[in-house]
A = this chain, B = another copy of it.
Amino acid sequence: MTAEEAETAARMFKALGDPVRLRLFSAVASHEGGEACVCDISDVGVSQPTVSHHLKKLKEAGLLTSERRGTWVYYRVEPSVLAAMGKLLAPSAAA
């Protein structure tokens, strides 16, 4: 594993390395249709700006995408990225 590969992958793991972000991500991933409105998942015990901040981090890490539809903003998981991370965690099956 090269230093560059490690940089890229570590950014994604790091994004999931916060309990609030992990819960937000899990909530989006397990929501119906694979997407969720912010209002559906923002009950994680922190303030609204903090939720927004964490969703932005997940987006910057490439784990989520967002789309505004009228009043609400919907977040959705990026499946290809998930698969790549999963392979890193299953070296016996992937390498």
Contact = CB atoms under 8 A, between A and B. Distances in A.
Interface of A: 1, 3, 6-7, 9-11, 13-23, 26-27, 29-30, 44-45, 82, 85-86, 88-91, 95
Contacts of A30: 1, 91, 95
A61 to B, nearest CB: 10
Copies per assembly:
2
Given A16-B10, A17-B14, A19-B3, A89 B95 contact: no
Given A3-B45, A27-B1, A90-B82, A10 B14 contact: no
Contact of A86 (B1, B16, B90, B95): B90
18 contacts: A1-B22, A3-B44, A6-B19, A6-B20, A10-B17, A10-B19, A13-B16, A13-B17, A13-B22, A14-B14, A15-B17, A17-B17, A26-B88, A26-B91, A29-B91, A30-B95, A82-B89, A86-B90
